[in-house]
Amino acid sequence: MTGRHRRPRRLSHEGRRLVGGGLLAVFFAVVSVYTLNVAIAQVKECDEAVTLHVAAAPEMARVLEGYQLNETLSDRCISLALEGRDSADGPGEAAHVWIPETVLWSDFHAADESAKRWEAYRASVAADPVGIPADGRTVPRPRDVRVGDPRRDTAALLWISTYGVDEDVVRAADDPEAPELVRRTELDDSAGGFHRFDDLSAPWLSYPMLTPGQMDAPVRSAVETLSEELASSSFRTELEDWGFTAPRENPPIYSVTVVDDVLRAWESYER
């Protein structure tokens, strides 16, 4: 007796959906494994990652750290060694990039003939105006503002480099009743506002990105990658969260002797 062969039953709609979903899952699993392997291979290629030493003013170093810049750059085979340093102390020996509050500090340290010569790779990566709290007092002249010691205080150095220094400036520096020079980021919302003199030359801290003139190719490429990241919209948002403003498009250019001149004048009136 010959048995009858049954035609195979067609899968139901639900069955076809389950099988199709299983195949897709297998497909995506294979793709995911492939992608992971590619990523691992790329990581392995970063065994010789470039270590980029960056010295930045302490407040800017905090911004860069908060932005998790090292994690971003590690995807580009760059290891970031970030150090917060007072600009008056210079960038240190290891730095490939220096971000002081103002380019004036590079002129200040240029007096040391053994030090590196720094050039502006980006004229500004952030900005912060300097002025006085708007507390209702009338201040007729910028020279009536109480400034700190310009040999250590960046805002003071910028202020007297902009407006000059004379006996009145030094006298106001010792007057506890004179309004104190501050950075905008140093004031909280309860300070009552911020006053700048109606002057087109009113100073801003412009946070230049400086590099030495000579760099080897891997470091130069890493510097360019860093520069691109600091120009990104996401970093701009980070700056705003910390109270900074957008980079200055055309920060002022100072005479190479201005720092020596104003500090010499300061010390002569200080005696």
Question: For residue 99, what pLDDT is reported?
Answer: 97
pLDDT, residue 33, reads 35
The Cα–Cα gap between 158 and 164 comes to: 10
Contact partners, residue 59, CB within 8 Å, separation at least 6? 185, 242
**Are the C-beta atoms of 223 and 215 separated by less than 8 Å?**
yes
Res 271: pLDDT = 61
Q: Encoding tokens for residue 214?
A: 């000579």
Spatial neighbors of 148 by CB under 8 A, at least 6 apart, are 155, 156, 173, 181
The confidence score (pLDDT) of residue 263 equals: 92
The per-residue pLDDT for 137 is 72
Per-residue model confidence as pLDDT tens for the chain (271 residues): 444 444 444 444 444 444 444 544 444 443 343 333 334 334 446 767 899 999 999 999 999 999 988 888 988 899 999 999 999 999 998 999 999 999 999 888 776 655 678 999 999 999 999 988 887 677 778 889 999 999 999 999 999 999 999 999 999 999 998 889 999 998 876 556 788 876 667 899 999 999 998 899 999 999 999 999 999 999 999 999 999 999 998 888 888 888 999 999 999 987 6
The ranges of the chain annotated as CATH 3.40.190.10 are 43-127+206-253
Alpha helix ranges (H) inside 197-271: 217-230, 233-241, 258-270
Give the integer Cα–Cα distance in Å for 162 and 201: 7
Quote the pLDDT of residue 126. 97
CATH number of 43-127+206-253: 3.40.190.10
Asked whether 208 and 251 are in contact (CB, 8 A), the reply is: yes
User: Is the pTM of the predicted complex or chain greater than 0.85?
Assistant: no
- How much is the pLDDT for 117? 82
Give percent helix, percent strand, percent coil of the chain, each to the nearest 5: 45, 15, 40
